[in-house]
Amino acid sequence: MHKQILSAVLILVSGLVSGQSIDDIKSYQNKYPGAQMVVLENTEELVIELNKGELEIYETYYAKKLYLTKDAPMFREKQLSFGSFSAYEDMIASTSVPAGTKYKKIKTKEFTTSDDMESNVFHDDSKIISFSFKGLQKGSFSELSYKRIIKDPHFIGRAILQDGFPVEHQVYRIIVGKGVDVLFTEYQIERDFISFSKTEDKGKTIYEWTVTDAPIIQTEKWSPQITYYTPQVLPRIASYQKNGATEYVLRDVNDLFSWYETFLDSVNTDVDNPMIKAIVDSVLTGSTDELDQVKRIFEWTQENIKYVAYEAGLGGFIPRSASTVCQNRYGDCKDMSSTITQLLSYAGIKAHYTWIGTNAIPFTYKELPTPSVDNHMIATYIAKDGQHYFMDATGRYGEFGLPSSFIQNQEALIRLAPGKFELYTVPVVAPEVNSIVDSVQATLTNGLFTAKAVSLMGGYYKQNLQYEIEDLSDDEKAKFYKAYLRKGNNKFLPENFEESNHYPSPKPFRIAYDFTIGDYAMENNDELYINLNLTDYFSGDKLKKDRKTPFEFKFIAQYHNVIEFTVPEGYAIDFVPEPIQISNELMRYESAYTINGNVITYTSKSNKTKLYYNVAEVALWNKSVNQINKSQKNVIILKKSN
């Protein structure tokens, strides 16, 4: 029956192709002003059934798109990727180009399969099929259809029901045969342009999501990954019947963990490897504290094992042994997890394989117990007091005890022992750890704002800065610092830089420097006006009132400024602004001025309170930012004293 449904859809679509009027283009341009392209029809049909006791899984796809602007040629080249777990068949592509009052159809004849050389992976089995929509131009439309064979029941995929282009009509259909149990994760699906139906026909269950007139999904300033706010359906096979017995696939996180564990069965089975033993003995010489030993092993792996993504089929899931990694001196995230846990095992210390998703993934393991819920692997050490140390050696400047920024607030699947796991949410690092502390001693010298400064960068700020400056020459670094440390206005001129506390020092990275700012003090008769707030951390942070998407930050940080300004001779203090304090569920901000003799000290401290913000919080965010920006424009007033 499902083949009849698909055939009917394709016949209908073929009618749309031949009946498409060139005059319709103007109506679509009016309906979707500014859109480069509109999806007229998109049909995806996933079939999961039993064939002679074996699972058969495949997906058929058809899409017809109309191009509304002169940018159409930018969509000409198309690529589809695949690897060990899928394959494409029956691929057909064509372009219908305006020719007077009719269309000329140009079929794509060349489909080229090659290794995916654009991949960020050093070695994998991913391949791409490349082809072109010939003659694509404004007013033309493309058609693409294919069949995708799914070879492993753990990798079903997902359907995105709203994207960056308007959609006239889209259908996502799943046809499930008798003896197969399928579950779904529906996310952000409550939209008035999406409808759902479930029907039964000849022993098959048909699930169907229909999209009608879906608007363009917005991408705005600070928007998180689109996966956080686009409607999507993620199916999974819970179980199926085989030879009278039930085969379980992915009912819940227990099934996912059991499957993941099979990848570890043959990893690090050795217990007396001379090379591993020599490394551990050398690294731990003189250390008796267990936490210090864990730190040393982590830092040795970080320093000696080069990160190289290396995947092929299930090799993308199976770690290589520590002995192989230590001999090769390179590996991917799984290999580093394997190395850390095995080196610590030789030291008599237990560490744990840990699967985790980065902040590109919005799901927990309960919500989505499939391989789509995680894309990273690390090692975890659990101290006797219960504190968890998440060790990701893929970053050269990642500090021990500080999780990678992109796994904050993400749920980790920690293998505690064979058959036993723990779900643990990685905490968000406190803003005080990720701090920028600016200390400035300044005055006016012949009308020029002159100062000595020390800037301290901690936590993720330190990590990021180390990456930025690691390969810069002195001249390049001076230019970088001029932008990075900018204060006052565009006449900020820093010099005489002195750096200290480079990684692996646990102290904040320190930069001492001198600087001047030209034309910074404003003079009016016998008064001088000076703004002691030298930074603009919140300028430009106001958001649109009609924002459609949530917003997020990579980490939360604290900005702490202390400016000691010595009043120049011949002037007296006439006015300093009142203190301000803001404290709500979104952010903290405070600033104040104190006077001690002829020295005015301005202090400010601020931080956001969380990583992720909802659209409903935009109004309070803007109100707070407005208050801060207004206060940061305040000036002190000095008056000539003679």
| pLDDT recorded at residue 125 | 59
* pLDDT, tens only, 219-231: 899 999 999 999 9
Share of the chain above pLDDT 70, in %: 94
Strands (E), 342-447: 352-356, 376-382, 388-391, 411-417, 420-425, 435-445
Please report, as a single letter, which amino acid is at residue 226. Answer: I
pLDDT at 185: 96
Q: Is the pLDDT of residue 115 over 80?
A: no
Residue type, 111: F
Q: pLDDT-based confidence at 310, cuts 50/70/90?
A: low
Q: Extract the tokens encoding 72.
A: 């159409």
Q: How far apart are CA 42 and CA 58, in angstroms?
A: 17
As a whole number of Å, the end-to-end CA separation of the chain is 98
Residue 584's alpha-carbon distances to 283, 431, 619, in angstroms, are 47, 15, 13
pLDDT of residue 2: 44
* CA-based nearest residue to 639, from 575, 595, 574: 574
Question: What mean pLDDT do residues 484-493 have?
Answer: 95
The pair phi, psi for residue 484, each rounded to 5°, is -70, -40
Q: Residue 3: pLDDT band by 50, 70, 90 thresholds?
A: very low
Distance CA 121, CA 332 (A): 9
Query: Angle 302-304-306 (CA atoms, 0-180°, nearest 5)?
Result: 75
Instruction: Report the distance separating Cα 441 and Cα 565, nearest Å.
Output: 6
Mention every residue, 6+ apart, whose C-beta is less than 8 A from residue 116: 81, 124, 126, 127, 128
User: Collapsing DSSP states into helix, strand and coil, what is residue 94?
Assistant: strand
Calculate the alpha carbon distances from 12 to 44, 82, 161 in Å.
15, 29, 21
Longest dimension (CA), the chain: 103
Asked if pLDDT for residue 312 goes beyond 60, the answer is: no
Quick check: bond before 504 cis, omega within 30? yes
Q: Which residues pair with 512 in a beta bridge?
A: 454, 498
The pLDDT value given to residue 85: 85
DSSP 90: E
Q: Output Rg (C-alpha) for the chain, integer angstroms.
A: 30
| 32 in Cβ contact with 159 (< 8 Å) | no
DSSP 614: -
Calculate the CA 423 to chain-centre distance.
Answer: 21
Q: Which of 626, 620, 455, 622 is nearest to 535 (CA)?
A: 455
